[in-house]
Every structure is written in C-alpha cells, then in structure tokens.
C-alpha cells in the first residue's frame, strides 16, 4: 500500500508530464496550422487557383484529429486526472472565444454580425460548458478513488 506522500509525488510527476505534453501539443498545433496555410497557399498558386486552400486545411485538420485520438488514448491511467485538468482549462478558453463569437457586448446588446457565426458560437458555448462540467465530474470521481474508505 502506497503512502500518501508517495501518492502525492506520483500525482505531481503525472501533472508535470501532462503539462509538458500539453505544451508540446500546443506547439504541434501551431506547426500544423502553419503547414496547412503554407500548403494550401502553395497548391492554390501552383494550380492557378484551381485547388481551394480550404481542402488542404481540412486534410490537415483530419490528420490532427487522428493524431490527437491516438495521443489521448495512449495516456497512462495515472495521467488522466491531470489531463482532465488541462482539458478543462482549454475548454474555459473556448468558452471565452464562444462568447466573443456570439457577440455579447458589455452593455448586454448583441453586436451586428452574421447569424450563423452567432449560432456556431452558441453551439460552441454549450459544448464547452458540457465538457467543463463533465471534466469536473470525472476528476472528482477519480480523486475519490484515492480517499480512504470508512
């Protein structure tokens, strides 16, 4: 049976590893975005505008989804709680962006903008809020496993 100090040390090591992984993932996303933009622009220029850069950007997005799937599912169980904390932080940033997309000003009135942008911002706001709430539930449940019973 592990002592509380050993469990705390393992949790701190896991959080450090999760933070390092999140930083590397952020760098990879920036690199992929640059590659997608460059590839799309080059392909469009090479074909005289016959190929839309959006096609290449969607291909890079699909590759990023596949890589992200394999990265997340290869995480060891000890890292899941810190990983949930990182995803909650990312979702909170998404909430801020979704609020800006919805266009709610400080006075409470909606700014002018396309209706579809407001609708997509609202959907993003709802999905991010559900993700944050679910992340806290999962984190609480995982931390409950370490509490003494009795």
On whether both 55 and 14 belong to a single domain, the answer is: yes
Positive/negative CA dihedral, 42, 45, 47, 51: positive
pLDDT band, very low/low/confident/very high, at 1 (cuts 50, 70, 90): low
One domain for residues 50 and 112: no
Measured torsion, CA atoms of residues 92, 12, 31, 134, in degrees rounded to the nearest 10: -30
Both 20 and 31 in a single domain? yes
> Which of 75, 103, 135 is the last residue before a domain boundary?
75
pLDDT at 91: 77
For the whole model, what pTM was predicted?
0.44
Could you give the number of structural domains in the chain?
A: 2
Same domain, residue pair 83 and 147: yes
Do 130 and 147 lie in one domain? The reply is: yes
> Is 121 found in the same domain as 69?
no
CA neighbor of 129 nearest in space, from 105, 93, 79, 103: 93
Integer angstrom CA distances of residue 39 from 46, 61, 62 = 10, 13, 15
Q: Are residues 5 and 52 in the same domain?
A: yes
- Whether residues 53 and 82 share a domain: the answer is no
| 148 and 102 part of one domain | yes
What percent of the chain has a predicted confidence (pLDDT) above 90? Answer: 0
- At 133 the pLDDT is 84
Q: Are 84 and 34 in a shared domain?
A: no
- Are residue 68 and residue 15 in the same domain, yes or no? yes
pLDDT tens digits for range 78-132: 676 677 677 777 777 888 877 777 775 545 555 566 777 778 888 888 888 888 8
Residues 83 and 55 in one domain: no
Domain range for 103:
78-150
User: Which tens digits make up the pLDDT trace of 53-64?
Assistant: 787 778 888 888
């Amino acid at each position: 049976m592990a002592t509380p100090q050993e469990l705390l040390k393992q949790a701190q090591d896991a959080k450090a590893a999760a933070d390092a992984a999140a930083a590397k993932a952020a760098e990879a996303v920036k690199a992929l975005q640059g590659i997608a933009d460059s590839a799309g622009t080059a392909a469009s220029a090479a074909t005289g505008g016959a190929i839309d850069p959006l096609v290449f950007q969607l291909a890079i997005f699909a590759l990023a989804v596949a890589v992200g799937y394999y990265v997340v599912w290869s995480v060891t169980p000890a890292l899941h709680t810190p990983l949930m904390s990182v995803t909650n932080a990312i979702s909170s940033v998404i909430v801020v962006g979704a609020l800006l997309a919805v266009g709610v000003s400080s006075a409470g009135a909606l700014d002018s903008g396309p209706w579809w942008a407001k609708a997509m911002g609202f959907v993003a706001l709802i999905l991010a809020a559900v993700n944050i709430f679910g992340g806290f539930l999962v984190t609480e449940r995982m931390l409950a496993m370490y509490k003494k019973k009795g």
